[in-house]
Structure 1
């Protein structure tokens, strides 16, 4: 694969979710609402955990990381989409496209590994409750968060190194509302075999390894809970995992849905809609899942909101 001077590449055109002018205001309003709800909901989670000393535990430390990551992932895509709709300018620079593609990869991989780390935290809490504070020490929690961060950075760096080796043809239209390396590869004149292999391998690692860790953790959790004699004890143990399991199901369930869409349809527009929903809907719903299913979180949010009202 011969490298090419990429300064000759002026940029790309993001075709978005629809080319119907009548639907543009609806799409703009929908994604503006999604973005505002995502940012506000996840910020409330972060503020509630930070302001309540009862929530200063490993579980909520990882939840804060997840909320901040959800804000960043949504910010990587939605503001650019909204500006494009508002200005009717679908162009994105070459550097901007690569930066967006790598940021999406980074935050998506980070989310995947954070969910796996949170599953491990729940495993330790239920299967080794007496040693929980020792096993989940602040140092280990920090190392686990840094490991998730490193995996996201490593995959994003690999993707950008692949993209920097590409040369492009005259066709510059990406049938998406954000830059994705798989779509960029379709526009290149270079040999894409290595790039596609790397994408599939890294996707398997970033998806398969966390999923395997989550499955292992929950198999051990279920096995441990079933040995609890009282039904009340079983219910309490499962309730501590309910929110995380719901978030995991939503994240990987929508990801599997996107994969099915790609298999059964050749429509670029349908793929674009599916990909956007996968990268914005879980991030919007995560705060609601944790606040509605978690009694401690609901209490912290009530105290935060009532404290804010008293200041006003």
Structure 2
């Protein structure tokens, strides 16, 4: 069986641990050349080390693949631009961007500090936007020069971004922003041969280890339902040439299950044909609520 990403050049952010590491190794197994980007920070974004990214690059080389480690801050606009340029200089091209970098600083909204909001939104949402902007510019210039572009962007949202999550207002807001960014970019970039999709994974990482424990294995066969490696095959497929007609989509992935999540849709509607009076709207709003399906519950809500 031929590897489905043979020769593709893939840049993965947050690639040293958890989901990012699993993606990097699976891409290597499927024939891709991999840029392992990671600052090596702790789960809350503090600290930093070059060793985690270098170790993953060494693992890829041990598999017979090609990789190099990079420590760029992807939420820095100029650093993101340079990372794209470095990838092209090193491998001669860029075909796939996988945005995965992030960390959490969980807190109830009423006790959240300003830096806890800013730092989480910065690394998740701005980190996605900065990398997408500069990768897309590279591909747009290639398309305008007459080259055939077959590029992929795979973003990482979350169930928290789709449904909300108690105690994670900063993280949920950033991940919801990534969902909107994904569909917007998919519409804008299709003309250049770029697809943009997102995943909302459920897997054991440093951010979720207390929720998805090591004991979450099927008793009959030992299948680890929350292993990050369960998510990577879909990411790799979305990056392949076979997925050229799939864009603007959000996939939820957990264990052996893959589902397609639909974004906000227009629902029940009442049109008076002229401006409503405030006292009229109580009954109308209750009719709309009664006619619509109930919303999915927020994670952690009672």
How high is the TM-score relative to the length of structure 1? 0.26
More strand by share: 2
How high is the TM-score relative to the length of structure 2? 0.27
More helix by share: 1
